[in-house]
Amino acid sequence: MGASDRGGRRAKHQGGGPDLDRRHICAEAARIMAEEGVGDFHAAKRKAAERLNLPAGKNLPANHEVESALQQYLRLFHAGRLARHGRHLREIAVKAMRFLERFDPRLVGVVLSGIITEASEVQLHVTADALEEVHFFLQEHHIPFDQTERRLRFGGERLEALPAYRFVADGAVV
């Protein structure tokens, strides 16, 4: 990780060319996601570039590069503990999917991919004929929830804002 200390302070970085800068940003972004619970790839990459005193322009690594570096980092530093946490989150996901069965739930995100950190949340996509159905279902079952909005990309181009519901099940956010 080299150019940044664990306290998150900025470090001087001697430029080594775009490829080396990209690899440094990638490794630091992976560490930030693992250690600080940052769940957004773009935010982690920008934070990494800032900490390394590198421009956050065209040299940012692709999400799949950071994801690969994150997998390696987690295997190296957190294998045992996060494996247990991952099993726990998958069990919660199964229970939540059974509970939400009428909405044809699909597991997505980090619990599906296996790239789990302490800050990981269970993410499910559900479908309903009317937007309010999930809202009313959770209310009927006395499940406290927060309603937010998520922007999802469809077909690579079209971005759509959809309602999202967050609730806690067995100590984990779903």
What are 60-95's pLDDT values in tens digits? 999 999 999 999 998 888 878 788 888 999 999 999
Task: Report how far residue 144's alpha carbon sits from residue 121's, in angstroms, rounded to the nearest whole number.
Answer: 16
Per domain, the residue ranges of the chain are 18-61, 79-173
pLDDT at site 1: 47
Q: The tokens of 97 are what? A: 């999917």
Which is higher by pLDDT, 154 or 109?
109
**Whole-model pTM?**
0.72
Task: Report how far residue 35's alpha carbon sits from residue 13's, in angstroms, rounded to the nearest whole number.
Answer: 21
Residues sharing a CB contact under 8 Å with residue 76, sequence separation 6 or more, in sequence order: none
Give the pLDDT band of residue 14 (cuts 50, 70, 90): low
Residues sharing a CB contact under 8 Å with residue 173, sequence separation 6 or more, in sequence order: 121, 122, 166, 167
Residues sharing a CB contact under 8 Å with residue 118, sequence separation 6 or more, in sequence order: 37, 82, 85
Task: Report how far residue 81's alpha carbon sits from residue 94's, in angstroms, rounded to the nearest whole number.
Answer: 20
Cβ pair 25, 61 in contact under 8 A = yes
pLDDT at site 80: 80
Burial 47-85 (b: 16+ CB within 10 A, else e): bbbebbebeeeebbbeeebbbebbeebbeeebeeebeeb
